[in-house]
A and B are shown apart, each in its own frame.
Chain A
Amino acid sequence: MSYNILEINGLRKHFPVKNSWGSEIGSVKALDGVNLKIEQGKTFGIVGESGCGKTTLMRSLLRLVEPTSGSISFNDESGFTDLLGLKSRELRKFRKSIGVVFQDPMGALNPRMLIKDIIGEPLVIHGQTKNIIDRVVELLENVGLGKEHLYRYPHEFSGGQRQRIVIARALALEPRLLILDEPTSALDVSVQAQILNLLNDLQKKYDLTYIFISHDLSVIEYMCDRLVVMYLGRVVEKADTEELFSNPQHPYTKALLSATPSFDKKKEKIMILGDVPSPISYHDKEGNELATELTEQEKLEIKSIEGKGIDYIVRSSLNEVLPLIRISDTHYARIRILND
């Protein structure tokens, strides 16, 4: 039976921007009303460029940043938990059920700790110290490493092995949900393939739910069952993976799909012109939305691209906030409705 392991409603996180006197002059809307339902046992993908709020979303799931408003609820065998209502002691207990794998494995591992201590640390913190070495060995074997790696330091491993250690540590407390924040972006393709295979095996073995954050669309397409595309703190399109890749609706999604380098030379190209708007300037004092006029750079780039037969969209046209429209039962996008 499938149920939603995680439900996020209207999640907002606004970081205040202050001037040098300390008074608030605006805000960076890192998350602006995000609604997500994540199904148990599936892989849920989040795609977007840097600065679109992927990482803030992940951090607010762990309450590493306090969301401004909204609600997050987590369901598992023990019942229903309102994540934002937890007190600090309960929160610490709760964090057991969510594991995290970060992007840079070397940054996530303490260079002065042995592997046995690194993987054993979450167990010690949560008081599961019985037969700890056996448990650590079991975890290591799960990720394709072995007993001989127990008494080594992180620098003695290659990038792929380090990422395996991080995954083993994330699994130490038997979480129900694993958040993978760009787990393979620092790795070569062949090592990446090994890690992706490992993740798929583990998912089958432990019936895990993954939240997979990445900017590499080929990885997302391979791993995810359902995914959302984020742009400037909002979800602009959500759909099942196959549907999204075969029938993208939002202009940004279309451009993103076509921007991914591929071997297919006949593929239709859509360029995105212009630079990412500064997250601070995109709301002025009165709270007006971002300007939708062309910027200087966009004019320049349009001029250079014209007559080459390349389709393009401009970033300033993406600044307008449109409502999320239902396209099919599982497919939603923020697009303008065409009047028939």
Chain B
Amino acid sequence: MSRLAIGTRVRVRDLIHTGHRRTPVYVRGREGEVVRVVGPFLNPEQLAYGSKGLPAVTLYRIRFSQREVWGGTYAGAAADTLDIEIYEHWLEPVAAH
């Protein structure tokens, strides 16, 4: 079951997680918004080590402002965005500001 609805503000957890993981370091700790609930997938961070990848994890598409990802050093336009796929265990909801 997916826990996070479209439009939810989320933060990417900065987990200490060695080995195979599918959440790049550059988005960890950054805040974005759920733009799509893709659905359940076998957990690739488990599959990589020969397990069955169960329980399945919900995959989301999260949209970030590039200014949020890179701060003041982003040289593009203010409206530029980054969409990335992140599994639920890497996400936590953020209270509205």
Tell me whether A and B are bound partners: no
